[in-house]
Chain A
């Protein structure tokens, strides 16, 4: 048996629960619906259930990208759903008022940045606890969006804006392309610079990091601003997709899905180490599940229960306490007799170092 090495475990091995869960959910979908993996071209655009998973999962994946970094700093951003609504409202209202696409995009993303800045300042400078600081915008943000649209669904006609939601690039749906691009940019931003290290350091121990010279307020503001931007992009996609800003429903409760995606992806709510790609995988797991439920033909009354059960299974797979239920290493408790069986799957054993 190969022993997990100390230090950073090989990426794939550490991510086994996530990829395993994704594979399992996809497999279950395939069993429920044999055409699940079939893909064809439709009007120059990939078309199939698997594509739906990626396409519909894009907003939560985008939120999860921003949320991952916020959570890595030991924060949380409850306002992302409301920020989506604001960004969508800005885009739809301005388009309806006749503004051009560049101005609309700039204003909408700008609104997201501004929201992020607000959150970041509350957390970093006023030192309000993140859950409370962002709760303010979560509650007020939707009101702001309602003020912008005057409480109505603002629809628009703009092929350019609509393309962001339902267009395609080289046959791949635009939301998927945008998400991939933002993931790449974000990964580059944090991993090709020292930002990632600083985010993790701040999340693990803000005092120590500040003492070592890390500019903690700037790091904190930066992650909330980026999170706001990601939320604005998600809001644009949702709005562009239905060609209208539905502020009462756009992004409603999606902050919870985003947090869930991050947690499924293995980033701890206590901050520290984070994995962007795995959060996106987490979002994909959630959406694969949603799409699976829709395809399955279950009664809608079961949706939430099925979802909860699957999530519980995924999270249990990652639970550190689960390793306690596994057979103990040999010799731990002599009276217990021999171990009950080989340890399951990737669960790490505490002992097993090879003596020199």
Chain B
């Protein structure tokens, strides 16, 4: 494609010496960052490296302590999203901040609704909303409240809103975390088109393949400092990971490349299942399915977004009430009446939408970690403060949760570290069946490997796991069995040697495998 070339003397965005400290944390320390016209620039780093903070400080959501930001040579100091937008900088934050009660169309055009005779022109708004979204391959009822749709759809709406408004720069903080491969491909198409129009794009992600698929340049942060800026073609993958981790990555690389075959020997199938579902399902949610999970076994759930993966695990945990079929635990038939019942049976569940259904934002990391354990013990048997601190500290160390101390409100942790704290919440209850819905979403390479290793260790200790993930390699790496879903129906169950990415993909698609990379790490 022919690049846009107005040859401006100044770069699109020039950030110099940007610093930002929170109580006890130097989140950014004199960071430089340059975004040029017509480039896609990856901003990378471990969880807590300061990526989101850089973005929020740049757009003025946080007040900067020091540093300058120049837009095409002119110094700017926006004081928030709207002001940044007026400067033609569109941003999608990591936590989608849309209004779930308003319709999709209203969310897209909030604050800039098409007007007619002094009134909002709803018809025009709906038409334009449909047009904008169809550019992203999304056709939904734009008059329905946004909150009804999946995280992925909401994410696309947020991106579409920002893209539609950013004439100069577009900043995306982990936009692909909850998108499936096709949606990612569509997004990349849009990004390339924008780039062709000379727009500069900042792209934060933990998916290295995506970096190599679309990005021209890479900037890496570590512990709030700039590690360096490179052109993508000059930076081999291993060097990139080394830059991010700040150590030789043999260990990490080894873990990522864990041999899937080693884990797939059958032979434990003779053991009685821990849980057993027969004809389990719920109208308008998931078709009835059969599922057994044995102790020490990892069962993966694969499928496209909206294929019923999340719905399945929510039924298993009792978050949603099944209306047909039966469940048995340890061979005893019972009714799953809700999460409390499930927890009593030794289940644990890390939901997909951790901000809405996972963390208790204002409470401390310690309180978040002990919450499930405490709830199971009942309010009359409080866990002594000392014990709570021990538990919290143990898991902070074990999972390498980056926080100055256990008393920090969990909402102040970076996204990946929040996820680890949630994992800690369940590990503290020593569950027999742990259900993880997208456990590695938004988690950096290092932590990603750690979580996978942890999953393996847990099941070696006899814990059963049911894991939903969009990353097929990951599923293949640790699953003994994989259940594939399509259109809210369990369509295949692969076991042993059948567990390969190819088999999963062909089970997902009855027609030939959709074109495009599946996001496989090297």
Contacts and interface: CB of A to CB of B under 8 A. Distances in A.
Interface string A327-356: 011011110000000000000101111010
Interface stretch (A77-85, A100-108, A197-205): A197-205
Contacts of B119: none
A211 B349 contact: yes
Contact of A212 (B29, B362, B375): B375
Q: How large is the interface on A (under 10, 10 to 19, 20 to 34, 35 or more residues)?
A: 35 or more
B363 A355 contact: no
A8 interface: yes
B160 to A, nearest CB: 26
A354 B85 CA distance: 34
B431 to A, nearest CB: 11
Interface stretch (B35-43, B127-135, B378-386, B477-485): B378-386
B364 to A, nearest CB: 7
Nearest to B27: A353
A116 B418 CA distance: 37
Contacts of A332: 63-66
B63 A197 contact: no
Interface string B15-33: 0000101111110010000
B247 interface: no
Contact of A197 (B351, B371, B425): B371
A198 B65 contact: no
Contacts of B19: 331
Interface string A288-326: 000000000000000000000000000000000000000
Nearest to A271: B362
A215 B340 contact: yes
A339 to B, nearest CB: 13
B360 A328 contact: no
A88 B47 CA distance: 59
Contacts of A198: 374-375, 379
Interface string B57-78: 0000001111010000000010
A214 B429 CA distance: 14
B23 A4 contact: yes
B224 to A, nearest CB: 10
A204 B360 contact: yes
B376 interface: yes
Contacts of B372: 212-213
Contacts of B357: 207-208, 211
A194 interface: yes
Nearest to B409: A7
B363 A204 contact: yes
Given A6-B407, A201-B367, A351 B379 contact: no
B290 interface: no
Given A198-B375, A211-B349, A213-B372, A6 B65 contact: no
A186 interface: no
B145 interface: no
Contacts of A8: 364, 407
Contacts of A273: 362
A214 B338 CA distance: 11
Contacts of A7: 364, 405, 407-408
A272 interface: yes
Contacts of B63: 328, 332, 350
B356 interface: yes
Given A331-B66, A333-B77, A211 B358 contact: yes
Interface string A174-212: 000000000000000000111101101100110111111
B108 interface: no
A137 B340 CA distance: 31
A4 B24 CA distance: 10
Contacts of B375: 198, 209, 212-215
A213 B360 contact: no
Nearest to A273: B362
A225 B351 CA distance: 32
Given A6-B408, A200-B363, A353 B25 contact: yes
Contact of B359 (A193, A208, A214, A331): A208
B319 interface: yes
Contacts of A200: 360, 362-363, 367
A333 B66 CA distance: 7
B377 interface: yes
B273 interface: no
Contacts of B439: none
B64 A194 contact: no
Nearest to A4: B23
B512 interface: no
Contacts of B381: 194
Given A194-B377, A353-B26, A208 B360 contact: yes
A37 to B, nearest CB: 38
B415 interface: no
Contacts of B68: 334
B64 to A, nearest CB: 6
Nearest to B374: A194
A208 B425 CA distance: 12
B385 to A, nearest CB: 11
B383 A194 contact: yes
Nearest to A200: B363
A194 B26 contact: no
Contacts of B408: 6-7
A331 B26 contact: no
A194 B382 contact: yes
Contact of B23 (A6, A197, A214, A215): A6
Nearest to A268: B362
A207 B379 contact: no
B371 A209 contact: yes
A213 B65 contact: no
A8 B405 CA distance: 11
Interface in B440-496: none
A38 to B, nearest CB: 43
Nearest to A202: B360
30 contacts: A5-B23, A6-B24, A6-B405, A6-B408, A8-B364, A193-B382, A194-B377, A194-B378, A195-B379, A198-B375, A200-B362, A201-B367, A204-B362, A205-B361, A207-B356, A208-B356, A209-B375, A211-B349, A211-B351, A211-B357, A212-B372, A213-B375, A213-B376, A272-B362, A334-B68, A350-B23, A353-B22, A353-B23, A353-B24, A355-B26
Given A212-B339, A214-B371, A332-B66, 9 more contacts: A6-B24, A7-B407, A8-B364, A194-B383, A205-B361, A207-B357, A211-B357, A212-B360, A213-B343
Interface of B: 19, 21-26, 29, 63-66, 68, 77, 319, 338-340, 343, 349, 351, 356-364, 367, 371-372, 374-383, 404-405, 407-408, 425
Interface of A: 3-8, 192-195, 197-198, 200-201, 204-205, 207-215, 272-273, 328-329, 331-334, 348, 350-353, 355
What 7 A-B pairs are tightest by C-beta distance, nearest first? Answer: A7-B407, A213-B375, A213-B343, A6-B24, A331-B66, A194-B382, A212-B372
